[in-house]
Structure 1
């Protein structure tokens, strides 16, 4: 059975795709309190790649495992945590630890548990009119994500490419105000992450989150000037993972989904679908390398 409904989020319309699977497992049936029927696990996701990954699980693995998924696709970065706190979701899958920690520090009082890493979406520096990093003109304007965690990542790309230097004392939440050296007089313009693909035509280049880049076909239709560097703490800081409230962290349905997210078939699906942009992470926190 497949039904569709809609919910209005804080920053964008939220589209819900409900997919129900049959043949629940004995464990799932017991957790529901209803013999022969598993309780639906409601998970909020970004449409791409998170929604695609859960849809792959729903269509290929969930029925056999006895997991009944309701996939809630959400187009912004604030609503999934808000709905989780409000009890409208059982879990979400769209964010990395750095974003979660920043959101939790500034959002409603709630205890979150980061269940497991799943994948990394590499930020890329994209351009329509510039072909290589060396072609960026003096005074170039570069758009970047405006949420603190990803703004810092974007500055890291520009620094790694020798375009700017950032004050190391600024830490993991550095902003454009922490730029200490800017030899090409580059203008760094923070914008909402979802708006960046549309902004590329109006700036010299833009650092775009992997999910929004995929949705806009940027890896195929734009010039990739640079990928973000992979440091020692890359997975720990920026792997996207499954998150639940602490009270639901040991829910059998949540733990079952965590296992399915690391199934070899899922890892292969990620590798084949988004080579170079999305990197699968196994249950041990190791990035699964892929050719670009």
Structure 2
């Protein structure tokens, strides 16, 4: 009887120890799981337009690193930088470097590029003609009305041989800087988001690549004239922007790294039908 009691007591002790260890392991596992959930961070990314295909692939990869990419979509180019400067979003990706520089200059902000995304050539589109050479005297042409995209549009018209602008204006010519206009083109300035909608009312319209894609165009196929990609394109490389104090933020750098991958390059090629190029491969990561 005494031997039996000793054996039973020993068995109960072993069982209690095992149960205790199991509970501790369960507690540690639960704590680890809870810790993992707590470490997940949300990054608010400002975008223009409805097309998120490229960023969707990036978003999936970031999720594996505990980063939840949340889209905040805007309709006008004047909005995402203001939201970023105000702290309403963490990053934005919609603009080229020249646009950002001009915004900082005009608004006294200190937003910076933390990574290159794509180079998206500007295009001239029309529902009335199939070739830029068919543009008649006095034709109506719509261009974006902001300084950077408007200047870029005028330089594109110059590259196409339609006008000449004052060299002193450099990257930011305005309509008043036009020195030669042999076809007497009637150039109308519109909000960038309206240039695609204006196609029925004008003979040609210069439309930003993202807006053109949203309107159902394939820039490399549908534009009657497309901006060439060369060394002069660098100011127009699209970027990911952040506040200056967040320039080296580890999480934001992971967002950049997740974007600048071969997987993203494939999606860019597929979704743009070859109209946009991965800028980090041509112009560097930043």
* 8 Å CA contact 2:121, 2:227 repeated in 1: yes
Equivalent position of 1:103 in the other structure: 103
* 8 Å CA contact 1:53, 1:266 repeated in 2: yes
Structure 1: distance between partners of 2:50 and 2:37: 35
Shift of 1:166: 0.8
Q: Match of 1:94, SS?
A: coil
Q: Match of 2:150, SS?
A: helix
Matches within 5 A, 1:258-273: 258-273=256-271
Higher relative contact order (CA 8 A, sep 6+): 2
TM-score normalised to structure 2 length: 0.82
Indicate the structure (1 or 2) with the bigger Cα radius of gyration: 2
Equivalent position of 2:252 in the other structure: 254
Render the CA deviation track for 1:87-107: whole Å, top value 9, x for unaligned. Answer: 111111111110001111111
Structure 1: distance between partners of 2:249 and 2:100: 20
User: Where has structure 1 moved over 4 Å in runs of 4 or more?
Assistant: 33-36
Equivalent position of 1:3 in the other structure: none
Equivalent position of 1:150 in the other structure: 149
Q: Match of 2:210, SS?
A: helix
* 8 Å CA contact 1:130, 1:223 repeated in 2: no
Structure 2: distance between partners of 1:224 and 1:246: 37
Q: Match of 2:170, SS?
A: helix
Equivalent position of 1:14 in the other structure: none
Shift of 1:176: 1.1
* 8 Å CA contact 2:269, 2:275 repeated in 1: no
**Structure number having the greater strand percentage:** 1
Structure 1: distance between partners of 2:147 and 2:85: 21
* 8 Å CA contact 1:117, 1:283 repeated in 2: no
Equivalent residue for 1:275, pick from 269, 273, 276: 273
Equivalent position of 1:4 in the other structure: none
| 5+ residue gaps, structure 1 | 1-28, 288-292
Shift of 1:63: 2.0
Number of aligned residues = 251
Render the CA deviation track for 1:180-231: whole Å, top value 9, x for unaligned. Answer: 01111111111111001110110110010001100111338x9521001333
Equivalent position of 1:6 in the other structure: none
Equivalent position of 2:42 in the other structure: 40
Shift of 1:268: 0.7
Equivalent position of 1:208 in the other structure: 207
Render the CA deviation track for 1:160-184: whole Å, top value 9, x for unaligned. Answer: 1211111111111101111101111
Structure 1: distance between partners of 2:211 and 2:39: 36
Equivalent residue for 2:237, pick from 228, 236, 239: 239
Q: Match of 1:106, SS?
A: helix
Aligned CA distance change for structure 1 residues 34 and 247 (closer, same or farther; 3 Å): farther
Cα RMSD for the two superposed structures = 2.1
1:175 equivalent in alignment to 2:169: no
1:124 equivalent in alignment to 2:126: no
* 8 Å CA contact 2:49, 2:211 repeated in 1: no
Structure 1: distance between partners of 2:226 and 2:44: 33
| 5+ residue gaps, structure 2 | 1-31
Structure 1: distance between partners of 2:279 and 2:217: 23
